[in-house]
Chain A
Amino acid sequence: MSNSCAFGQFWHWTAPLAARGGWRMPPGSQARDPEVTIVLWMMRQLLADARFYQRLTRVENGAIRSLARTMLSSRGLWLLAFHRIAYYCARRRDRRGALWWSARAAKGAGTLFSVMFCRSAFIDDCEISGPIYLANRGYLICGARSIGEGSLIHDRCSLGYAVARRDEGRPVIGRNVWIGPNCVVGGAVTVGDGATLLPGSFLTYSVPPGAVVKGNPASIVGRNFDNSVLRRSLAIVQDVVATGP
């Protein structure tokens, strides 16, 4: 599935509804009802997320797990699915139809579910434009304003956490960002596209695209780094975890 069905583009059509004074069909859509369109886009988005997970969680000989098995075994994918529903609830408070109330009920159950089983919590109105990876190991708290597509966020991360002051701003995570385990991003920070946060880094300032960040407190140790190798699969972190730091 291409990235043309990214959720962010979908919200560009739906969010300024009140400003335009009515619902307008997305171009090329066959659906009659806007709520049917929303359900269709949501399912396509979840399918794209599952495909993304499927590519990432290759087993060692390069074989790909089946889509159903990926969906059932990825707790981060459950978290992402519940977050999409919660995001819909947060952004569409102006139109409370049957779909909104059923989504609200699913969100209430999903918050508790993701706390207990995914060990993670997400702020409701964090905009995720496209498929991203959230760690299956959990212990992730995300209060970011937006996360770009193709980003990888590993376990034990705190995004948008007050580092030493209260009520700090919310970070903006760019596209194709690799955030290692045990990272903290605090304050109103912009993490540029394709940046790499090495494990255990505590970032409190904005970093340019392609930067490599390391350490506590964080320092930029590299620039214009291409992290596509890191983002190709999860094997690199699994090796580190298996062999110890």
Chain B
Amino acid sequence: MRGALGADIRRYAAHDPAGRTRRQLFLQNYGLQALLAYRLGRWLLRSRRTYRCWPLLPGGWLLYYLLSRYVRLAFGIHLELSADIGPGLYIGHFGGIRLHGCRIGSHCSLGRLTHIGPLPGGHGPVIGERVWIGAHTRIVGAYRIGADATMSAGAVVLQDIPDGALCMGNPARVVMRTYDNRSMLGLADEPAEADPVLRAQ
């Protein structure tokens, strides 16, 4: 948990123009509070298997319940524990965010009013690393979204999206095959040698 939450904090600190400290970020940023509740819940789920952690579980679940209820009621950020979110998620704005039953890679950005989840009875979407997901995006169903892809605001995804593509519209169409979203993600100074598409540019 500490590693994933640490990556979240680094994303938020990179996006923060005022240069606030970690404590200020936790107190003032609702996205980070939502992620804290989510990471705590995932850690509690994992630590069920460890006998030494059992004394912590009742208090931990109570804390998780209170935190997640607060975040869901006050800000409408529903990060359910069935979602598998990689380290370093950045939630830009509050309101109407619903993530459940999906897998999201590391260092993604999430806009507001997004709904990512499975169709009833089906599998959820699998989203790669460093994907920028704009506001009003809906990814419902078992679709694969490649690494470094960019979902424009309002994209309603009804097909698989290749790596590094920019897609927009309803239904979402791939507008560009190679689209550099590193400056949007705030990751411009990090090396991109892991990705062949970006290395080719």
Residues of A that sit less than 8 Å from B by CB: 115-116, 119-121, 138-139, 141, 156, 158, 161-166, 182, 184, 186, 200, 202, 215-217
- B30–A115 CB distance below 8 A: yes
Determine whether the beta carbon of A186 is less than 8 Å from that of B153. yes
Contacts of A141 in B (CB 8 A): 93, 95, 112
Q: Give me 5 other A-B pairs in contact (C-beta within 8 A), A139-B95, A156-B113, A216-B156 excluded.
A: A141-B112, A158-B135, A161-B134, A186-B153, A215-B170
* Structural contact, B184 and A165, CB atoms closer than 8 A: yes
Interface residue? B118 (CB, 8 A): no
Smallest distance from the beta carbon of A173 to chain B beta carbons, Å? 17
Q: 4 nearest interchain CB pairs?
A: A216-B170, A164-B152, A202-B154, A163-B153
B binding-site residues for A, Cβ under 8 Å = 30, 74-76, 93-96, 111-113, 134-136, 150, 152-154, 156, 166, 168-170, 183-184
Choice from A158, A165, A202, A216 contacting B113 with Cβ under 8 Å: A158
In the docked arrangement, what's the CA distance between A199 and B104, Å?
Answer: 30
Are A164 and B94 interface neighbours, CB within 8 A?
no
Q: Give the distance in Å from the alpha carbon of A162 to the alpha carbon of B154 in the complex.
A: 11
**A177 → chain B closest CB, angstroms:** 19
Q: Name the CB-closest residue of B to A216.
A: B170
Q: Residue of B at shortest CB range from A120?
A: B95
B residues near A158, Cβ cutoff 8 Å: 112-113, 135-136, 153
Task: Decide yes or no: A166 and B183 within 8 Å by CB, A158-B113, A202-B154 being known contacts.
Answer: yes
Distance (whole angstroms) from the CB of B101 to the closest CB of chain A: 23
Chain B residues with Cβ under 8 A from A119's Cβ?
76, 94-95
What is the CB-to-nearest-CB distance from B132 to chain A, in angstroms, rounded to a whole number? 8
**A225: shortest Cβ distance to chain B, in Å?**
23
Which one of A139, A166, A184 contacts B153 once the chains associate, using CB atoms below 8 Å? A184
Taking a contact as CB atoms under 8 Å apart, the answer to whether B152 and A163 are in contact is: yes
Cross-interface CB contact of B169 among A120, A162, A165, A216, cutoff 8 Å = A216
